Structure 1
Amino acid sequence: MIRLVRAELQKVFTTRMVWGMLALSLGFTAIGLVALSILSGGQGAPSLSEPDGVRNLFSQAGSGLVFAFVIGTLLITGEYRFQTITHTFLVTPRRQRVVGAKLVACAIVGTFFGLAGIALAFAVGVPAMLIKGASLSLIGADVARVCAGTVAAMALYTILGLALGSLLRNQVAAIVVGIGWVYVLENLLVALLPSVGKWLPGGAAQAVYGVSSPLGGGYLPAWAGAALLIGYAALFATVASVTTIRRDIT
């Protein structure tokens, strides 16, 4: 299994696409960090001298969730697009092992994206707090929870991308559907049906972050959000396994 995981990671990290997605993810994170740093303390936004403001600032580390999703999608749809999936299953006939290796690889890649976002958040957030005159003592357990939530959410969305790619197989369709869900449908559900939005993957991630909620009823408690993220990850992993193992690859 270790060799399979290593092979999957090599497929990912030897392509320019993953570094492009990482750059875009960090770009979105940087925009969010700079915007919140400038707007903090004004127009109703929490100040960086308040715990809510600090949590909101460091939660920007997860701004690139959609790019982690895209990488998960490419990890499986690229195989179908270039017909390398046939060779993969010939080398490793037990498809369960292939799917397991891809799931582990997705979790590792998502974790890598999350850690990169966290590093950027500290690189921008700490100077911003000092400039605003905030105390660095506010970087404590709450920020640690935000960082843990960022890593968990990134890993989850990478697995989600793999599951959707396994289901649709078409690379363009999977990416369009995924981006449409993350940026359009989920946001609409959060805005129009707040009681539903907090149960979605994005709502679960926000619950773990502990950021200020725009929802009428608020997000779930942090522990419930974490449990929900784990449940979604298990569901997506099952979808990826079933759709890859039982379907004809031709």
Structure 2
Amino acid sequence: MLNLINAELRKFFSTRMWWIMLLVVLGWTGLGLSLSIGMAGVEGQPGLASPEFQQTAWPYSGGATTFTMIVGVLIVTNEYRHRTFNNTFLVSPNRTRVVMAKLATGVIAGLMYGTAALVLTAAAVVPAVLGAGGEFSPTANEIPRMSLGILVALTVYVLLGVGLGALLRNQVAAILVAIAWTFLLETVLTSVPALQDVGQWTPGGATSALYDTGMDYGFGAAELLPFGVAAAVLAGYAAVCVALALVTTVRRDLV
């Protein structure tokens, strides 16, 4: 199994996809951080030196779930697009092991992107806070909980992408569905008060509960699941993704 995982990791890092998506994740995170720092202290927003600023800025590390979901889609659909799955299964006829290796690669990729986003956030937030005369501690202001939640969120969305890619196979269609789901549907369900009872059970709602501090940014505090419930919901989504990837890849003929 380790040989298969190593092979999948070599595939992943042998293309430009991984570093292009890394730049996209960092760019999106950096954009959010720039806005947060630039708006600090303006029109009632927390000042740079306040603990509340750290609680509002840190979650921007988790804002790139759309892009890590696309990474998961590409891990699977690149094989279909370039018709390399046939060669893959000739080398390793056990399709279940191949899919599990891809899922393991997705977990590693998600942790890598999450860590990179957190490092960028720390590099932006810590100097901003200290420069404004504030204090920063990596164990205060819910930083550990938010950091763990961000790592889980970005990793789970890679697994969601793997499951979606295995289901649809068509790369363009799967990417469009991922974008529509995360940017449109989840945004509406988690933002509109009348729909938040449903939105809190979506992957986006559950991941927000892991790193959102419940602060009111002027639109009303979001309805969030308890931390433990959100973790269980995400574990369920991850299990569904694993099952979906296994069933659709193992049982269907290649084309």
Name the counterpart of 2:35: 35
Distance 2:69 2:164 in 1: 9
Q: 1:140 to 1:229 in 2, by over 3 A?
A: same
Asked if the contact 2:54/2:141 (under 8 Å) is kept, the reply is: no
Q: Which residue of 1 is the match for residue 91 of structure 2? A: 91
State the AA in 2 paired with 1:176: L
What residue in structure 2 maps to residue 202 of structure 1?
A: 204
Question: Does the aligned pair in 2 maintain the 1:54–1:139 contact within 8 Å?
Answer: no
Residues paired across the two proteins, number: 250
CA drift of 1:65 comes to 1.4
| CA shift for structure 1 position 44 | 3.4
Q: d(CA) in 2 for partners of 1:44 and 1:97?
A: 53
- Helix, strand or coil: the match of 1:136? coil
8 Å CA contact 1:163, 1:236 repeated in 2 = yes
Superposition pairs for residues 37-56 of structure 1, below 5 Å?
A: 37-56=37-56
- In the aligned structure 2, how far is the partner of 1:57 from the partner of 1:139? 16
Q: Which amino acid aligns with 2:155?
A: A
CA drift at 1:215: 5.9
User: Pairwise mapping of residues 90-129 of structure 1 onto structure 2 (< 5 A)?
Assistant: 90-129=90-129
Matched AA of 2:33: L
Q: Is the 8 A contact 1:207 1:220 kept in 2?
A: yes
Contact 1:61 1:118 in 2 (8 A): yes
| Distance change >3 Å, CA 135–CA 200, structure 1 → 2 | same
Structure 2: distance between partners of 1:219 and 1:47: 25
Give per-residue Cα distances to partners, 1:78-131, cap 9 Å, x unaligned. Answer: 100111001111111111100110111100000000000010011001011112
**1:174, CA displacement in angstroms?**
0.3
Closer/same/farther in 2, CA of residues 107 and 215 from structure 1, 3 Å limit? farther
Instruction: Give the match for residue 74 of structure 2.
Output: 74
Q: Against the structure 1 CA distance between its residues 217 and 20, is the aligned structure 2 distance closer, same or farther, given a 3 Å change threshold?
A: closer
Task: Report SS of the residue matched to 1:230.
Answer: helix
* Cα distance, 1:15–1:118 mapped onto 2, change above 3 Å: same
Aligned partner of residue 249 in structure 2, secondary structure:
helix
- When the two structures are superposed, what TM-score results if normalisation uses the length of structure 1? 0.94
2:54 and 2:206 map into 1 onto residues whose CA distance is 19
Question: Which residue number in structure 1 is paired with residue 232 of structure 2?
Answer: 227
**Contact 2:191–2:222 (CA under 8 A) maintained in structure 1:** no
Query: Runs of 5+ in structure 2 lacking a partner?
Result: none
C-alpha contact (below 8 Å) 2:95/2:250 kept by paired residues: yes
Alpha-carbon shift at residue 141 of structure 1 (Å): 6.2
Deviates more, 1:155-164 or 1:132-141: 132-141
Residue 183 of structure 2 corresponds to residue 178 of structure 1: no
Tell me if the contact between 1:28 and 1:63 (Cα under 8 Å) persists in the aligned partners: yes
- Bigger drift between 100-109 and 229-238 goes to 229-238
Runs of 4+ in 1 over 6 A off after TM superposition: none
Q: Work out the percentage of aligned pairs sharing the same amino acid.
A: 42
Aligned equivalents of 1:41, 1:196: Cα separation in 2: 33
**Conserved? CA contact 1:70–1:158, under 8 Å:** yes
Residues 40 and 138 of structure 1: is their aligned pair in 2 closer, same or farther, counting only changes over 3 Å?
Answer: farther
Give distance in 2, aligned partners of 1:170 and 1:181. 16
Cα RMSD (Å): 1.7
The 3 A distance-change label for structure 1 pair 217 and 55 is: closer
**Map 1:133-148 → 2, pairs under 5 A:** 133-137=133-137, 139-140=139-140, 142-148=142-148
Report how far residue 42 of structure 1 moved. Answer: 2.6
